[in-house]
A and B are shown apart, each in its own frame.
Chain A
Amino acid sequence: MTGKELIKKTFKLEPTDVIPWVPFVGVHGASLIGVNATQFLHSSDNIVDGISKAVELYHPDGIPVLFDLQLEAELLGCKLNWADENPPAVISHPLLEGKTIEDLLVPEKHEGRLPVVMDATLRLRAKYPDLALYGLIAGPFTLALHLLGTDIFMKLFEDPEYVTRLFAFCKRVANRMADYYIEAGCDVIAVVDPMTSQIDPATFEMFVSPPMTEIFEHIREKGALSSFFVCGHAQQNIEVMCRCKPDNVSIDENIPLDYVKDIALGHNISFGGNLQLTVVLLMGTPEDAAFNALDCIELGGNRGFILSPGCDLPMGTPSENLIAVSNLVKDPYEQQIVKAMTRKSDSLKLLNMKDYGQSDKVIVDIITLDSESCAPCQYMVEAVKKIAPHFEGIVEWREHAIKQMAGVTFMASLMVKNIPTICIDGKISFVSQIPPKNELIAAIQKRINEKLKLKIQAKKGEFIAFCKDDAEANVLKSRIETAFLQTGKRIDVIYVTDPVKLAEHGFAQTPTIVLKKYTLKSQGKVPSVDVITEWLKEV
């Protein structure tokens, strides 16, 4: 199934096998191709290259062409302050500078940066026919804030009629922008209105709901899908957002995903979100990103849910973190591994494995999810199982399925990070890839040789000869001496003739000869209980 089909299915609330993934790559695309945000947003070549790089790295199902909520504002006369690492900021408000709402004109396609954006959209459409392309437009409240500045907050109370007129104009701009994006090939139009998080539901319904509902209706008429993006503390407004009848609502980390899920699905609307932008994606590790993505996936479920960051990705978001999300979302095994690993926080006690693999036999451990449900795991276990008989009992193998806590403990103790993995005597030897038969045999043989070498160097022993008297002992002594001469080997011999000691050992007949062998098991450190247990099994 293509990404576009997956997204469409999700918008229709049909259950899917995998969860669609839409990274909101805005100026983050600039960092991927080594240009600054300003250069990026002014060049269709840069936008196409940056987004293409993101597609290559993150394997998304859908992606926005552009994430710049100042685009419309600039077209309507707001001055922008351009930056290297952020989208630009609006620094002047035409409606405060003598212009009236009636002076403002809905932007035409040839104006400002629109030709750049539309060219990028057309080219990305042609290049990625199977990807869901998102066209992002500024919502009425956010655009109105740009046009009027923060005075809009007082105007809400002091001059509601003015605000209504202003929002109506912003709606016309949004509809026209939606038309442009749809004509250029976008599948989803996302109306981004973070400002709505600032107001209460009653104010939302009075000012935002009417224009917003019409925008979504317009997008529907044009045959595209729609989404309502909000960020910030907008929990109070999710219900009224859904009543505007978008096809999807998308939220950030400030709102619990399950809360949105219940309300959105209650309205037959799909929903998306809410990977944590700063603490996890920007400042965290790939492991943090994977845990966070798993949390979202588990809460979101496989019906009507799109995994995405809460908002525009910060430019400097490390790619590794997004790659970790991308790996996880498409790979159910990876999800189960991360899930198993999260149990680590339940005060997992690691084993001391420093001495692991000191027994006579070579121990091959296969760390799996569970060879019955994970195909690669099954093949890896089979591979080991097949070659083990070649070693005629010298090699012992075990599977550690991390579906059980003991398996997780073992995996974490051996510092194994991937599934499946083969460890030979506790050393990570084959990761993820199933080794060819000869390579696996060679690796085990190598370990056997190492052990043999150790054994040869370490072998020592002594005879204990229990004799009834010195005469018997002397006869034995001369024979042992001859054997020493013939073999070139010499070990200590202890002769026991004391009847009390003989009785203690319980040997009924003499002479009784015992060969006591010493095997070097470990040196220089106290072995762990597990290791001692292994040794005991040999006795």
Chain B
Amino acid sequence: MKKIPFYLVTGFLGSGKTTLIKQFIELHADSKKIAIIQNEFAEVNIDSRELRETGKSFGLIEMNNGSVFCVCLLGSFVRSLADFIGEHHPDLIILEASGLSDPISISQMISAPALRNSLWLAHTYTIVDVLNFQKTIERVGRNTHQIRVADTIVLNKIDLAPESIPEIRSKILLINPFAEVIESSFGRNVFLAGMKFHRPVEMMGTEETDSAGRPDVDSVVIKVMKPISTEKLDRFIQKYSLIAYRIKGYATTDSGPVAIQTSFEHTEIKHVAANPYNTEIVIIGPEIDQKELQLEFEYLCDQHK
């Protein structure tokens, strides 16, 4: 069975996530079976109403969790998502994560036994509201976290504060040196220009095709609290870069925190600003076992002591 690509759209409160997804639906709902998961739950779901305005057909799952800011609420999400997939067989799934949710915990959920054979994490978008970025970035920790995990960062509402863009860009690069940063207003152009939603396969070195749903792709997250020596980290990354399509994330090393990115054998490791987070690495590749990798990484950390 083909695996379904799973896209995470995360972003600050009011940054324009729903608008962005709406753009995507308008562009692609005629050719793809799209499923949207929303987890900002309100009495009247304004966000889902906005999506419905497109008049297009798509599946909608509403998570009954309010704001998923805690890992303890993700358990039932796994089951409802698995049920939905079994029933509707979408071509792709987009999760619009609430501004407060923890994107890494959501990514971890994809490797849950009930989901790992049907999903893989294809791409993570983080939407940044340039108007509020300066105010909140240092004070609201989750915002930093969402920037860390992004593959693509969309600077939204640029028309409202064009003069701040260069400074925002440089601040973002300090947190996440590997993300692609796109500028937009009202989410326009994001999918016209880059079509990222269709091209997660580019990181696997193939052309834009429907083969996004490769049967053999796994995405796993390893989370480790202990620091690792740079030498051991190199060894781990070198080993798995031969197998994995992509490794991305952050590690706490004996010489400070670093960001890691690989595509096949090309590896980049860069130092990033000190931060309160620990090692969080996403690995995408064929038949990867989360537990095995987690144990191996922990073992390498222990040798560091």
Contacts and interface: CB of A to CB of B under 8 A. Distances in A.
Interface of A: 79, 81, 83, 85-86, 89-92, 145, 150, 153-154, 156-157, 194-195, 197-200, 202-203, 231-233, 235-236, 252-259, 277-279, 282-283, 288, 310-317, 345-346
A282 B75 contact: yes
A236 B41 contact: no
Contacts of A200: 138-141
B102 A232 contact: yes
A253 B71 contact: yes
Given A150-B13, A278-B71, 5 more contacts: A197-B141, A199-B141, A254-B278, A278-B75, A314-B75
12 contacts: A85-B75, A86-B65, A92-B43, A195-B69, A203-B139, A252-B71, A254-B102, A256-B226, A283-B112, A314-B72, A314-B74, A346-B299
B100 A86 contact: no
A85 B72 CA distance: 11
Which of B75, B79, B138 has the most chain A CB atoms inside 10 A of its CB? B75
A79 B295 contact: no
B142 A345 contact: no
Contacts of A314: 72-76
Interface in B48-80: 64-67, 69-76, 79
A283 B72 contact: no
Contacts of B141: 197-200, 233, 236
B277 A233 contact: yes
B209 interface: no
B276 interface: yes
B194 interface: no
Contacts of A277: 71-72
A197 to B, nearest CB: 7
B100 A345 contact: no
Contact of A197 (B66, B69, B72): B69
B136 A89 contact: no
Which of A91, A232, A277 has the most chain B CB atoms inside 10 A of its CB? A232
B286 to A, nearest CB: 21
A81 B223 CA distance: 32
Contacts of B79: 85, 316
Contacts of A202: 139
Interface of B: 13-14, 41-43, 64-67, 69-76, 79, 99-100, 102, 105, 108-109, 112-113, 132, 135-136, 138-142, 145, 223, 225-226, 276-278, 290-291, 295, 299
Nearest to B291: A288
B42 A91 contact: yes
Given A198-B100, A200-B139, A81 B71 contact: no
Given A83-B76, A91-B42, A197-B141, A231 B70 contact: yes
Nearest to A93: B42
A199 B139 contact: yes
A199 B105 CA distance: 18
A388 B75 CA distance: 54
B140 A154 contact: no
Nearest to A344: B295
A460 B123 CA distance: 72
Given A278-B109, A283-B112, A345-B295, A310 B71 contact: yes
Contacts of B14: 154
Contacts of B100: 150, 195, 198
Given A83-B64, A198-B141, A235-B276, A311 B102 contact: no
Contact of A278 (B74, B132, B138): B74
A153 B75 CA distance: 27
Contacts of A346: 299
Q: Which 5 A-B residue pairs are closest in the complex by CB-CB distance?
A: A314-B75, A89-B66, A256-B225, A236-B276, A85-B76
A346 B277 CA distance: 28
A156 B141 CA distance: 14
Given A91-B43, A150-B100, A232 B139 contact: no
A256 B48 CA distance: 38
Contacts of A199: 139-141
Contacts of B139: 156-157, 199-200, 202-203
B76 A315 contact: yes
B71 A311 contact: yes
Nearest to A311: B72
A318 to B, nearest CB: 11
Contact of B136 (A92, A153, A255, A345): A153
A278 B105 contact: yes
A235 B72 contact: no
A232 B75 contact: no
A157 B135 CA distance: 7
A213 to B, nearest CB: 20
A149 B69 CA distance: 14
